[in-house]
Amino acid sequence: MPVIAPKRLQRVLILAVALGAICIAVVAAANSPLLAWRDPVYIGAGFAGIIALALLLIQPLLAGGWLPAMQARRGRQVHKWVGVTLLLAVVLHVAGLWITSPPDVVDALLFVSPTPFSVWGVIAMWAVFASACLAIFRRRLRFRTWRLAHTTLAAVIVIGSCVHALRIEGTMETVSKVLLCVLVLGATFAVIADLRGWFAKSAVRSTPH
Amino acid sequence: MTNSHPTRRHLLTVAGAAVVTGASGLLVPARAQAVAPTPTMRGGANNYRPGAPIVDRIGGGGFWMTGTVRRAGDGAPLAERRIQIWAHTTEGHERDAHSHGATLTDANGAFRLEMPQIVPAFGQPHGHLAYDDDAEFQTVFLRPIMPSASDTSLNVDFVLQPV
């Protein structure tokens, strides 16, 4: 019992910090003066992006079983549905921006945008799409292939999204944005490092086959 | 007739020298180095609306877009040239017709148009300017970024390349 208690407490603390950082970032963005000069579609597109970034903090925590009552199978099940939500948020983000300014989005998608951050966002978007496709065909893949491909794409998504967000001068407030990005990067690479031991164990276990 | 001889010889000498200098490429770099033309920027033409009307002010004003228009090479100021301006401001999106306006340069090739405050949109506080008026100079689309979103003016210089 004394061993389980701190672990559970740690998970509750991790959840509290994650939700706290997300709430602060969303509330700060909701108070941005820029919103007064944007129409609802543009505002919705921006917030879809912020929600997508927030989901990137939840995803590794679910994958690693780091949240309370979300270990192993249950955590992975929720991870899948949060992934679907992330995909929808990315689609809404791009669609809303497209309606607001079609030529700017076309430039970004064709990698000829003058803005240095859009290329990172577009790379992350394609990695999200690739991740979704990979998940659909997961059962046809060897387990280790799936894990390696999915982890690689996750790293691309997280790095791309954070650089994208940090270089934008938009509705997100700077301090809360930096904090959220640091937590997203930290959580992702901590969980990847944590699962590496598990990778090694499964590799050893699979050698006798 | 004897008088015309030195003149013709002189003329031939000067012309010959000019051709040799020009062909050797000595004249052109000297001109290009003087004032190079402004290249069109990436995304400069985004949300462009051809034929924006010449206005005294775009919307309620409060922000100044200023600049100059000169000719490539000799850098001569170009008067009566039409510059079109648009941006995402406190009064509208880039695509809105009322966010667009045009102004003419004065005798010194300078232009100055008051418009609503530019606010950051698509990740950067930026404006759009276009020169696309006639067949005399090549079209140029610019997308300058403001050093700070709180700036209340932006200066943009055009150097136009004769066609």
Sole residue written with tokens 């050093």: B147
Cα separation, A112 vs A95, whole angstroms: 18
A169 touches chain B (CB under 8 A): yes
Distance, in angstroms, between B79 CA and closest chain A CA?
30
- Is pLDDT of A58 > 70? yes
- Is pLDDT of A145 > 90? yes
Q: List CB contacts (< 8 A) between B44 and chain A.
A: 114
Q: List CB contacts (< 8 A) between B125 and chain A.
A: 169
Shared domain for B101 and B144, answered yes or no, is yes
On whether residue B57 sits in a domain, the answer given is no
On whether residue B106 sits in a domain, the answer given is yes
Angle at the Cα of A196 (from A135 to A89), degrees rounded to 5?
A: 35
Check the CA dihedral B43-B47-B52-B54 and report its sign.
negative
Q: Do residue A113 and residue B43 have CB atoms under 8 angstroms apart?
A: yes
A168 touches chain B (CB under 8 A): yes
Shared domain for B76 and B153, answered yes or no, is yes
Least Cα distance to A49 among A179, A131, A166 occurs for: A166
Q: Which segments of chain B have a pLDDT < 50? A: 1-4, 18-25, 28-32
On whether residue B56 sits in a domain, the answer given is no
Shared domain for B67 and B20, answered yes or no, is no
On whether residue B151 sits in a domain, the answer given is yes
Quick one: pLDDT at residue B79? Answer: 96
Which H/E stretch holds residue B157?
A: strand B153-160
Q: Which residue of B has its CA nearest to A172?
A: B123
Domain count, chain A: 1
Shared domain for B98 and B26, answered yes or no, is no
Please state, as a whole number, how many other Cβ atoms lie within 10 Å of the Cβ of residue A117. 21
φ and ψ at residue B30, rounded to 5 degrees: -60, -40
On whether residue B41 sits in a domain, the answer given is no
Quick one: pLDDT at residue B7? Answer: 58
Cα separation, A101 vs B48, whole angstroms: 11
Q: Which residue of B has its CA nearest to A41?
A: B93
- Which of A34, A100, A118 lies closest to B119 in CB terms? A34
A99 touches chain B (CB under 8 A): no
Shared domain for B30 and B75, answered yes or no, is no
Q: Do residue A168 and residue B123 have CB atoms under 8 angstroms apart?
A: yes
Whichever domain contains B128, its CATH number is 2.60.130.10
φ and ψ at residue B71, rounded to 5 degrees: -95, 135
B39 touches chain A (CB under 8 A): no
Q: Do residue B93 and residue A103 have CB atoms under 8 angstroms apart?
A: no
- Is pLDDT of A63 > 90? yes
On whether residue B68 sits in a domain, the answer given is yes
**What is the average pLDDT across A141-155?**
94
Domain span at residue A200 reads: 4-206
Distance, in angstroms, between A188 CA and closest chain B CA?
26
On whether residue B53 sits in a domain, the answer given is no
Cβ-based neighbours of B99, under 8 Å, separated by 6 or more? B58, B59, B86, B87, B88, B89, B91, B92, B93
Q: B113 forms bridges with which residues in the sheet?
A: B65
Look at strands B63-71 and B110-115 and give their pairing.
antiparallel
Mean pLDDT, all residues of chain A: 92
Kindly write down the DSSP assignment for every residue of A95-119, as one continuous string: HHHHHH-HHHHHHHHTT--SSTTHH
A106-140 pLDDT, tens digit each: 999 999 999 999 999 999 999 999 999 999 999 99
Whether the CB-CB separation of B142 and B157 falls below 8 Å is answered with no
Q: Do residue A103 and residue B42 have CB atoms under 8 angstroms apart?
A: no
Q: B117 forms bridges with which residues in the sheet?
A: none
B41 touches chain A (CB under 8 A): yes
Longest dimension (CA), chain B: 77
Distance, in angstroms, between A36 CA and closest chain B CA?
8
Shared domain for B27 and B71, answered yes or no, is no
B95 touches chain A (CB under 8 A): yes
**What is the average pLDDT across A70-87?**
92
Quick one: pLDDT at residue A69? Answer: 85
Q: Which residue of A has its CA nearest to B94?
A: A101
Quick one: pLDDT at residue A38? Answer: 98
Shared domain for B18 and B71, answered yes or no, is no
Domain count, chain B: 2
Quick one: pLDDT at residue A71? Answer: 78
The amino acid at residue A156 is V
On whether residue B156 sits in a domain, the answer given is yes
Quick one: pLDDT at residue B2? Answer: 42
Domain span at residue B12 reads: 4-34
Check the CA dihedral A64-A66-A67-A68 and report its sign.
positive
Shared domain for B78 and B30, answered yes or no, is no
Least Cα distance to B101 among B143, B43, B38, B48 occurs for: B48
